[in-house]
Structure 1
Amino acid sequence: MKAPIFPLGSIVLPGGRIPLQLFEPRYIDMLARCLKDDQGFVISLLRDGAETGRVASFCEIGTYVRIIDFQQLDNGLLGITVEGEAKVAIAQSWQQSDGLNLGEVALLPEEACENVPAAFHELPSVLRALFQHPVIDGLGMRVDYGDARDVSWRLTELLPLDMKEKQSLLEMQDPLARLERLQGLLEALDEG
């Protein structure tokens, strides 16, 4: 399918939510088209360039998101909240004359539903603690703390990790392998 691409300095995974502020005409037009056509867009991690620049390269694996809320913010900008639906691969991309990136995207296979193994019993507790933060709580995300996908996706989004590491975790298709990597990263954070 063809979809707009929003290069961003952060990631979102299926079921995750992220608030965005829109002020560039290309993205306000994109928002209007997405709402009119009842379609979403792809958030892809910015590799080079700036979020507001016209020249930017972005990762080939991203997340198809849908707009779940929008409002005028106190600063005069348009605020939206999007929710991740599915991971996608960007097969090819191009830029319109207004600077909006578009791409041919394909849905990646859905990850297997797995229970969180006993070896990773601390990870749901870490996630519960993160969800106590008012900003995260305010996003209204639902989490199944027994589902390895949910736990690994939310930890990938919320832990203070390097963005390249987060992208690598996003690209993994095995939730148990992602949990194992996250546990190792948390242990390294504790030691550091």
Structure 2
Amino acid sequence: MSASVFQPRFAALPREVAVFPLPGALLLPGGHLPLNIFEPRYLEMTFDALGAGRMFAMIQPRDPEEDPSPLYSVACLGRIVRFAETDDGRLLVTLEGVSRFLVGEELPLYKGYRRVEADYGPYADDLTPPPATLGLDRPGLFEALKAYAARHELSFNWKAIEEVPEPALVNSLAMACPFEPSEKQALLEAETPSQRAELLTGLLRIGAASSLMGGTTQ
């Protein structure tokens, strides 16, 4: 997998970033996250991003019931690669993950949306395409995924996903599966794609087993 010609260079990554706090929404480097944006402050944020580099970040709130909620310390910068307007005033956006970053000081609100200082240093490797193979135990992953899907009544195009390259497969499943927000955050913070693949398989197994026992993962 080669880097997109449109991908920003490390030196060009913004040091002040608008953030979209959304519980359970995971964006990973190289992944694609569809968003349905309708709140006025996030419409403003998106229009501002479209006029200046097309970038904002996805971040998870630690306590969605609190306003404003404390934020997790690691987020992922995204770049708008597609957008469309709807007749009822929404924006349909696809965000491509660029790089994770450490969240620094929170800046004053701007047009109602939140902004933070970003430190990309620990995640400079996110701009390098991952290896084609991650040492993934594909049979083990699919066994865990099928059990998880059965317990949570999820459907997948099994033939299609069996042909997906390992990095894209891990990203897509990590982003799509309905894990708990803390589990999504753990997937985001995994140091390497290989470690994320291992964690993903473990979470699928735990999710299938806990659902079978009538519990939930913690």
**Is TM (by shorter chain) over 0.5?**
yes
Distance 1:130 1:176 in 2: 25
Q: CA RMSD in A?
A: 3.1
Are 1:132 and 2:157 counterparts? yes
Deviation per CA, 1:31-50: give whole Å up to 9, x if none: 22211112301110121236
Query: Quick one: structure 1 residues 40 and 189, their matched pair in 2 at CA, closer, same or farther if it must change by over 3 Å?
Result: same
Which structure 2 segments of 5+ residues have no match?
Answer: 1-14, 147-153, 213-218
2:183 to 160, 165, 189: 165
Match in the other structure for 2:27: 12
Distance 1:124 1:175 in 2: 17
1:47 to 57, 62, 65: 62
Which amino acid is the alignment partner of residue 12 of structure 1? L
Which amino acid is the alignment partner of residue 8 of structure 1? L
Are 1:102 and 2:115 counterparts? yes
Query: Quick one: structure 1 residues 151 and 109, their matched pair in 2 at CA, closer, same or farther if it must change by over 3 Å?
Result: farther
The TM-score with structure 2 as length reference comes to 0.69
Deviation per CA, 1:40-88: give whole Å up to 9, x if none: 01110121236xx852222121111111222223543222221111112
- Maintained 8 Å contact 2:104/2:117: yes
Are 1:2 and 2:16 counterparts? yes
The structural deviation recorded for 1:5 is 1.0
Distance 2:115 2:176 in 1: 27
Q: Percent identity?
A: 26
Match in the other structure for 1:63: 76
Deviation per CA, 1:80-135: give whole Å up to 9, x if none: 221111112112212325331111112213255362326344437859x97639xx
Aligned residue pair count: 181
Are 1:37 and 2:85 counterparts? no
- Maintained 8 Å contact 1:116/1:146: no
Structure ranking higher in strand proportion: 1
Distance 1:132 1:74 in 2: 32
Distance 1:54 1:23 in 2: 18
Which structure 1 segments of 5+ residues have no match?
Answer: 138-142
The structural deviation recorded for 1:25 is 2.9
- Maintained 8 Å contact 2:134/2:193: no
1:175 to 193, 200, 206: 193
1:153 to 126, 150, 171: 171
Distance 2:31 2:99 in 1: 10
Are 1:73 and 2:73 counterparts? no
